[in-house]
Structure 1
Amino acid sequence: MTDSSSSLTRRGLLGAFAATLVTAAPTYSNAAGFLRGGGDIRRIRMYSARTGEHLDMIYWIEGQYIADAVKEVNYFMRDWRNDSVKSIDTRTIDIMTAAHNLLDSSEPYLLISGYRSPQTNAMLRSRSSGVAKNSRHLRGEAADLRLSSRSVSQIARAAASCRAGGVGRYSSSNFVHMDCGPVRSWGR
């Protein structure tokens, strides 16, 4: 079997899993257990209004990250301004997934910002005091996300309950920042 036919077979398998996946959302009290491997399958669902792309991807099965799936997540979360791609830290993807499951929503995240190139980060810093010079977005360790069916407070509480990284509330801009850095929170 060639690599391309193997990829198509794997993609078909992932599609079948995604079509039949039914999971119960963990409670806030066991969010950390989910991050440590409490789930057999991890699935991320997002769309980007900037690129028009949608992602519905199982990226982890039975304790193993699926390399091709993680590559697709990396590409999806690229800097859309210049198409720069960086590996997204899988801890951030896990936090995003755990928070989404805790919210018990079938709606995909709207990705506001994933990876940011140094040029994009500098441009955003020149326009806003809320953009960090050494942002975790530069390292592929952060995502800014929104769900129209949930409030900023609800999303931030779900992410914070994972106790696995930073959570920023940006209520006036209607998004939540999640990262895999030290546990901390900020914003309103």
Structure 2
Amino acid sequence: MTIVLVGMPGCGKSTAGRQLARQMGWSFADSDAEIERQIGCSIRSFFDRQGEERFREIEQEVVERLARPSQLVLATGGGAVLRPANRRALAQPGNHVVYLRATPEDLARRLRHDTHRPLLQGGDPLRRLRDLFRQRDPLYREVASFVLDTGRTSVPTLVNLLHMQLEMAGLNAKPGGPQPGA
């Protein structure tokens, strides 16, 4: 089984995912970090040189590879759900997709000093986050097994909420407990 975390940029996918994987004794992967390893530069630089469409093609290849069911917690890039092929790969049998939902206002507060996310550079970041949220929220919900509102939740609280949701889904994901498929 793979636990897939989806949501807007800055919602906590990578931070919470890394801690969840550590507590479960599973592997962790961040699709954006894997893409950067593959392309040999930052996503922002790649966006500037090659454009979003080429980035999405590479992202699709990486998501397809990483989303195969295994004992993995996978944090996806915020736009990974834009392509139908990615949504199918993420929501395939054996995967549990968690949508970490945060409001555009909370995200703007968290990301106010971020200079690495190409879609949030320049102009009005809050307006851009609102536009992205309107576009992506239905897609996150389409693939999600369940939704967790992150709001102003701390990372430890978020990880505990993830554990509780996985337990309620019939998965024994308690820290230190027997793991799914064991």
Per the normalisation by structure 2, the TM-score is 0.26
More helix by share: 2
More strand by share: 1
Q: Which has the higher contact order (CA 8 A, sep 6+)?
A: 2
